[in-house]
């Protein structure tokens, strides 16, 4: 598992994910991510290489997005199949998929 | 969720279901099949416990047959669907260039009836999961405990195979207590789910009221209709066999299946033999005053429909309720009637072991009576015939208005498919437009997928060779047009 959160200055934090973000992985990663984004002004989830997401990952995205003001959370580098998941769940716009 | 408003509760259910649908869309056929197999096995393993719960809670039907119903809802349904493709490309015909891609529908609401509570729950869960759709189970208020338990068993088994969270939800899990249960709230909640923007489909199995509510909700729906199943015994039938089949069907779970025979119509030439067989196998022929006594208790006087008190009750209990004395081995009450209609309540659908009984002089008049019965509240549902003449079977099939025409079989078990024929195994039987449904099919996985068709280029050769300027030639008759279009083809 490789989940990495980097602070880029000016309060911007980028978290990079890859592989399968299944329930177990999300549970293991949640605390680390929530700590890493604490106090950030802008949060970016980079999903390059993510091929599967579980419900718990959708929840994690929702939780993270509430840490910053609207528009300052975004998800980038989403594969078409994962984008479809956000679309079906009706979350693509709210979570600012780019 | 006692502190939530109806709207909040319904929004939460659908929000969960929508997320589940999104995650489900990523699963491939292998992962999907693994989940379905685990769920079927868990349900099958618990068939006896669930049957016991269903009978104790609803006081309808009997334990042995509830076990069989659970086997139908789990094992036979699984057998029917297990090898079917339901994910991604499900067919690819290179000759026509048409490729079919299966897509899930999204959240499904399943309305579960009191008569077949656990078996219908298992069945609907299996077909929903096989097609990667999350399902919300809405139990009949008088069967909440057993339905919730069936759903819970299936859900836990699904989760163990990494099924998406909330792929199975149920709206109630507290056992019905008439003193505290808020029926109005239950209906309001069900209606709110039905009309919710994120719901993809309703599969409504139940009475006319709930089916109509489903159809008028604005959400696509599959429903069922009421049955009034006639069974014609032709002179070429094997009387002993035919009567045996009718007993297997009509006594099954004390007659709770809507596809069970409601009236026997016998051709005179074989009537004595048939009557003898009925008596031998446990049929008690009511006399005129006894028919009247039974009529008085089978109808709800306020609503003019069958009384809930007799549904799924054994013949002996019904006889006792009617104040008539019958032999202890009586399994079915036979009511000889001469016509069909509201003035003869026993000619209508009554889900318990009572059979209207008609003797007609020949096949043609027997067929006419079957038609009267069919049009008296059972249009589009099922009809049954015992005959060994193909021409008579065909004539019967063409005359009846029924989604299922069962031949030389018990109609209850025949209509649900899988046991006595190759119909798809289902506990939701479509009754076509005359039954106010969109299909006459046994509802199964094919109804729970959106099929996307990829149409590869295959130009009609006739069009390529045709002078298209003739499209605009008004002097060309349709006949000449056809001739030119099909020239050298």
With an 8 Å Cβ cutoff, are B165 and A55 in contact? yes
How many C-alpha atoms does A86 have within 13 Å on its Cβ side?
Answer: 23
Q: How far, CA to CA in Å, does B347 sit from each of A6, A82, B336, B376, B401?
A: 77, 57, 10, 8, 17
- Going by pLDDT thresholds of 50, 70 and 90, the confidence category of residue A10 is confident
Of A23, A84, A90, the CB nearest to B18: A90
Of A22, A23, A85, the CB nearest to B22: A85
% residues pLDDT > 90 (chain B): 91
Domain spanning B229-420: CATH 3.20.20.70:
no
Q: Where is B450: in which H helix or E strand?
A: strand B449-455
- Going by pLDDT thresholds of 50, 70 and 90, the confidence category of residue B64 is very high
Cα nearest neighbour of B27 on chain A: A52
Question: What is the tens place of the pLDDT at every residue in B255-278?
Answer: 999 999 999 999 999 999 999 999
Q: How far, CA to CA in Å, does B120 sit from each of A92, B30, B114?
A: 35, 25, 10
Of A55, A81, A90, the CB nearest to B20: A55
The closest of B235, B241, B254, B318 to B281, measured between CA atoms, is B241
Nearest CA to CA, how far is B489 from chain A (Å)?
A: 45
Question: What is the tens place of the pLDDT at every residue in B162-188?
Answer: 999 999 999 987 777 778 888 899 999
List chain A residues with CB under 8 Å of B21. 88-89
- Going by pLDDT thresholds of 50, 70 and 90, the confidence category of residue B1 is low
pLDDT of residue B180: 84
Q: Report domain extents, chain B.
A: 6-223+443-450, 229-420
B154 in catalytic set: no
With an 8 Å Cβ cutoff, are B22 and A81 in contact? no
Of B25, B166, B198, the CB nearest to A84: B25
Question: What is the tens place of the pLDDT at every residue in A23-73?
Answer: 999 999 999 999 999 999 999 999 999 999 999 999 999 999 999 998 999
Question: Which distant-in-sequence residues (6+ apart) come within 8 Å of B184 by Cβ?
Answer: none
- Per-residue pLDDT averaged across B191-196, rounded? 97
Give A4-88's CATH code, choosing from 3.30.300.130, 2.60.120.380, 3.90.1150.10, 3.30.750.24: 3.30.750.24
Q: Report domain extents, chain A.
A: 4-88
List chain A residues with CB under 8 Å of B20. 55
Q: Record the pTM.
A: 0.93
Q: What is the 3-state secondary structure of B136-155?
A: EEECCHHHHHHHHHHHHHHH
Q: CA-CA distance, B269 to B385, in Å (whole number)?
A: 16
- Per-residue pLDDT averaged across B225-246, rounded? 97
Catalytic residue among B146, B154, B258, B370: B258
Least confident interval from B178-192, B220-234, B393-407: B178-192
Of A22, A58, A85, the CB nearest to B25: A85
Question: What is the tens place of the pLDDT at every residue in A75-91?
Answer: 999 999 999 999 999 99
| Both structure tokens of B237 | 């039938």
Q: CA-CA distance, B119 to B113, in Å (whole number)?
A: 10
With an 8 Å Cβ cutoff, are B19 and A89 in contact? yes
- What ipTM was reported for this prediction? 0.89
Average pLDDT, chain B: 95
Q: CA-CA distance, B54 to B146, in Å (whole number)?
A: 5
pLDDT of residue B3: 72
- Per-residue pLDDT averaged across B389-400, rounded? 98
Cα nearest neighbour of A81 on chain B: B26
Cα nearest neighbour of A92 on chain B: B22
With an 8 Å Cβ cutoff, are B165 and A54 in contact? yes
Cα nearest neighbour of A86 on chain B: B22
Nearest CA to CA, how far is B26 from chain A (Å)?
A: 7
List chain B residues with CB under 8 Å of A81. 26
pLDDT at B2 over 70: no
- Going by pLDDT thresholds of 50, 70 and 90, the confidence category of residue B489 is confident
pLDDT of residue B358: 98
Kindly list the residues of chain A whose beta carbon comes within 8 Å of any beta carbon in chain B: 22-23, 52-56, 58-59, 81-82, 84-91
Is the Cβ–Cβ distance between B315 and B284 less than 8 Å?
yes
B6-223+443-450 CATH: 3.40.605.10
- Going by pLDDT thresholds of 50, 70 and 90, the confidence category of residue A1 is low
With an 8 Å Cβ cutoff, are A89 and B22 in contact? yes
Question: What is the tens place of the pLDDT at every residue in B280-326?
Answer: 999 999 999 999 999 999 988 777 778 989 999 999 999 999 999 99
List chain A residues with CB under 8 Å of B106. 88
With an 8 Å Cβ cutoff, are B22 and A56 in contact? no
């Amino acid at each position: 598992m490789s989940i990495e959160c980097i602070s880029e200055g000016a309060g911007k934090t980028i978290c990079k994910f890859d592989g399968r973000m299944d329930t177990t992985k999300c549970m293991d990663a949640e605390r680390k991510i929530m700590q890493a984004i604490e106090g950030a002004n802008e949060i970016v989830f980079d999903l390059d290489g993510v091929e599967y997401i579980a419900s718990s990952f959708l929840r994690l995205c929702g939780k993270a997005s509430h840490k910053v003001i609207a528009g300052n959370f975004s998800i980038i580098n989403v594969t078409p199949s994962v984008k479809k998941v956000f679309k079906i769940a009706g979350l693509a716009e709210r979570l600012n998929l780019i | 969720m006692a502190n939530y408003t109806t709207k909040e509760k319904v929004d939460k259910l659908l929000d969960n279901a929508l997320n589940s649908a999104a995650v489900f869309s990523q699963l491939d056929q292998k992962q999907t099949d693994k989940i379905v197999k685990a769920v079927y096995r868990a349900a099958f393993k618990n068939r006896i416990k669930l049957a016991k719960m269903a009978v104790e809670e609803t006081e309808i039907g009997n334990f042995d047959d509830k076990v069989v119903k659970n086997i139908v809802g789990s094992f036979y349904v699984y057998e029917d669907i297990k090898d079917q493709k339901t994910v991604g490309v499900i067919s690819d015909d290179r000759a026509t260039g048409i490729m079919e891609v299966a897509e899930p529908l999204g959240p499904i609401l399943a309305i579960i009836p009191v008569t077949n509570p656990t078996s219908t729950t298992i069945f609907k869960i299996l077909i929903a999961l096989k097609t990667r759709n999350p399902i919300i189970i809405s139990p009949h208020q008088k069967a909440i405990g057993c339905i919730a338990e069936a759903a819970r068993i299936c859900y836990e088994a699904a989760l163990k195979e990494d099924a998406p969270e909330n792929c199975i939800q149920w709206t109630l899990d507290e056992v019905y207590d008439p003193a505290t249960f808020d029926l109005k709230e239950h209906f309001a909640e069900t209606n709110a789910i039905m009309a919710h923007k994120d719901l993809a489909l309703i599969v409504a199995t139940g009475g006319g009221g709930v089916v109509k509510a489903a159809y008028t909700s604005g959400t696509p729906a599959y429903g069922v209709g009421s049955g009034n199943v006639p069974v014609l015994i032709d002179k070429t039938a094997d009387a002993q066999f035919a009567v045996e089949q009718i007993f297997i069907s009509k006594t099954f779970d004390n007659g709770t299946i809507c596809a069970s025979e409601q009236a026997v119509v016998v051709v005179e030439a074989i009537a004595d033999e048939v009557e003898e067989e009925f008596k031998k196998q446990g049929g008690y022929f009511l006399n005129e005053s006894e028919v009247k006594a039974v009529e008085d208790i089978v109808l709800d006087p306020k609503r003019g429909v069958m009384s809930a008190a007799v549904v799924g009750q054994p013949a002996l209990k019904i006889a006792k309720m009617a104040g008539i004395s019958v032999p202890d081995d009586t399994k079915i009450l036979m009511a000889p009637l001469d016509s069909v209609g509201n003035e003869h309540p026993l000619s209508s659908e009554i889900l318990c072991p009572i059979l209207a009984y008609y003797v007609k002089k020949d096949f043609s008049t027997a067929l006419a009576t079957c038609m009267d019965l069919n049009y008296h509240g059972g249009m589009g549902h099922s009809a049954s015939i015992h005959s060994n003449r193909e021409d008579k079977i065909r004539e019967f099939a063409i005359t009846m208005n029924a989604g299922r025409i069962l031949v030389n079989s018990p109609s209850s078990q025949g209509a649900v498919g899988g046991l006595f024929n190759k119909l798809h195994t289902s506990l939701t039987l479509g009754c076509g437009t005359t039954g106010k449904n969109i299909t006459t099919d046994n509802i199964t996985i094919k109804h729970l997928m959106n099929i996307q068709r990829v149409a590869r280029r295959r130009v009609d050769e006739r069009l390529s060779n045709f002078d298209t300027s003739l499209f605009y030639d008004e002097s060309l008759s349709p006949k000449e047009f056809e001739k030119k279009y099909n020239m050298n083809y």
